[in-house]
């Protein structure tokens, strides 16, 4: 069941390249169709995040909340979500997966062979 309430949480926001991240309170909308809302328990910034923050690579993505490498717990689900329920422990991925090909079924990779 979807939690239809907007929630508030803390986020590290990059307002522009080459400046420190700003820890601020943000509002997160309820999940829409086929979306899940995740309570992030732990996250990190990776090298691709560092590229976005470097002035040489300023692509106009600002403001942005970085940290796509995370672990968390499903807080609520939107209509049409069948594979997850509130309370499930998850690792969000930025790349979609079919869940059926040999790569998705392997514990050694997260690069789907069907979604290139």
Per-residue pLDDT of 51-105, as tens digits, reads 888 877 756 678 989 887 899 999 999 999 999 999 999 998 777 788 888 888 8
Tell me which of 64 and 109 has the higher pLDDT.
64
Q: Which residues pair with 14 in a beta bridge?
A: 64
**Domains, the chain:** 7-105 (3.90.180.10)
Task: State yes or no: pLDDT of 46 exceeds 90.
Answer: no
CA distances from 48 to 40, 65, 70 (A): 19, 13, 14
- Please, are residues 38 and 28 in contact by the beta-carbon 8 Å criterion? no
């Amino acid at each position: 069941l979807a939690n239809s309430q907007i929630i508030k949480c803390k986020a590290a926001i990059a307002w522009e390249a080459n400046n420190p991240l700003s820890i601020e309170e943000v509002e997160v909308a309820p999940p829409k169709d086929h979306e899940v809302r995740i309570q992030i328990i732990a996250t990190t910034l990776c090298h691709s995040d560092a590229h976005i923050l470097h002035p040489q690579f300023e692509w106009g993505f600002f403001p942005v909340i970085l940290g796509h490498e995370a672990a968390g717990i499903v807080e609520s689900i939107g209509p049409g979500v069948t594979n997850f329920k509130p309370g499930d422990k998850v690792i969000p991925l930025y790349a979609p997966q079919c869940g059926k090909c040999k790569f998705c079924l392997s514990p050694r990779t997260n690069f789907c062979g069907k979604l290139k």
